[in-house]
Structure 1
Amino acid sequence: MDALLLVDTTREHLPSPAPQPLIDLVDRARGVGGVIVHVADRSVDDVADAADASGATDAVDEADAAGAADTDAADDADVQPQIDSVVGTTTDELVLVSAVPDAFEGVDDLAEGLDDLGVDRIIIAGSNARGALLESAAAALAIGFELTVVRDGIGEPGEWVEELEAAGAVVKSGADVWLKM
């Protein structure tokens, strides 16, 4: 089974609107109830807290108005973080925050959880602005997952895509990716 791993698809890292091939791939995965995992470097609450600390209260007010979870409520319940993704998120999708570029290092039990779901191939897309696509993709290969990089679903292609292909990743356009979900 596949998992679609969307890395740093926040408005901070990926232009809005998102590349159409990425939107189409996410829509296809959602349409079949596929495993979709969003990983970002910080949540809406983290952005609001940083803005509050710098005195930029407008950002905090906007985050609250957009329905950002109250941090006290988040402490009392097992609430997923919220991110400002250019492709959006749904309640059926896993939303994670990783302070380090490698999502498998930054999120405890991510590899084990995907394995428990029967995931054997990761389809990865998003932004490599902080090196997170490269780091997470390389880790997925090292762990033993098959890996497909969505060539037209990444913010800034570069030599790192060829490096991953040389390491065993398959590089395809979003329209050419067959989903096993």
Structure 2
Amino acid sequence: MVMNTEETRAEATGITEVIADLISRARATGGVVAFVSAPVAPGAPELPESVFEVGDDLGLVSESADAFDGVDDLAAGLHDLAVDRIIIGGVDVQEAIRHTAMAALACNFDVIVLADGTRDLSGTPVEWLSDAEESGAMIKDVADVWLRM
């Protein structure tokens, strides 16, 4: 799950290369890639803007910082696709990555938060990673994430 990767945000935070590596590997192993814009103002376009091509991947827009709260049946839909692990990173607008990661844990997904692929709007690493780890999320750099086939 890649969040808030509009071109100016992704480039300004310096995460484009590490996220691109993970997206490439996920696609090569048949993983489900979801691009999420959250939170967005009501009436936003249905597909998120992204520096990465959405194409056949999922494109989701949530008015809520928690994408599981803002996208109808997101957890059920991912479970139907046999997704059991959420790997999440991007630009943490209004702590959307934090809220979505915590919700994914509550929805019985294994969660990996990308330490080197999650930044706040200023490009600074987020400060809540240890809280996420204490809640059950795994914290890994992109290069250390193994994708299952």
Specify if TM > 0.5: yes
Q: SS at the partner of 1:35?
A: coil
Deviations 1:1-45 (A, max 9, x none): xxxx111112354335643221111111122231011111349x9
Please say which structure displays the higher CA radius of gyration: 1
Asked if 1:169 is matched to 2:137, the reply is: yes
Distance 1:28 1:11 in 2: 21
Q: How far 1:151 moved relative to its partner? A: 0.9
Q: Which residue of 1 aligns with 2:147?
A: 179
Correspondence for 1:149: 113
Structure 1 outlier segments of 4+, above 3 Å: 16-19
Q: Which runs of 5+ in 1 are unaligned?
A: 48-80
Tell me the residue number matched to 1:38: 35
Counterparts of 2:48 and 2:63, CA distance in 1:
14
Aligned partner of 2:7 in structure 1 is 11
Structure 1 CA distance for aligned equivalents of residues 129 and 9 of structure 2: 18
Say yes or no: does 1:160 pair with 2:128: yes
Asked whether the 8 Å contact 1:37–1:93 carries over to 2, the reply is yes
TM-score computed with the length of structure 1 as normaliser: 0.71
Q: Does 1:84 align with 2:49?
A: yes
Q: Aligned runs of 1:4-153 on 2, under 5 Å?
A: 5-15=1-11, 18-41=15-38, 42=40, 46=44, 81-90=46-55, 92-153=56-117
- 2:60 counterpart SS class: strand
Structure 2: tracts of 5 or more residues without a match: none
Distance 1:124 1:162 in 2: 15
Amino acid across the alignment from 1:29: A
TM-score (ref. length: structure 2): 0.85
User: How many residues were matched structurally?
Assistant: 142
Cα deviation 1:70-111 (Å, max 9, x = unaligned) = xxxxxxxxxxx3332122312x11101100100000000000
Matching residue's letter, 1:136? T
Query: Per chain length, whose mean CA-contact separation is higher, i.e. which structure has more relative contact order (CA < 8 Å, sep 6+)?
Result: 1
Whole-Å Cα distance in 1 between the matches of residues 118 and 53 of structure 2? Answer: 16
Give me the whole-angstrom Cα distance separating, in 1, the residues matched to 2:105 and 2:48.
26
2:47 and 2:70 map into 1 onto residues whose CA distance is 17
Provide, for residues 141-167 of structure 1, a one-character-per-residue CA deviation record: whole Å limited to 9, x for no partner.
111111001111112322211110111
Report SS of the residue matched to 1:130. Answer: helix
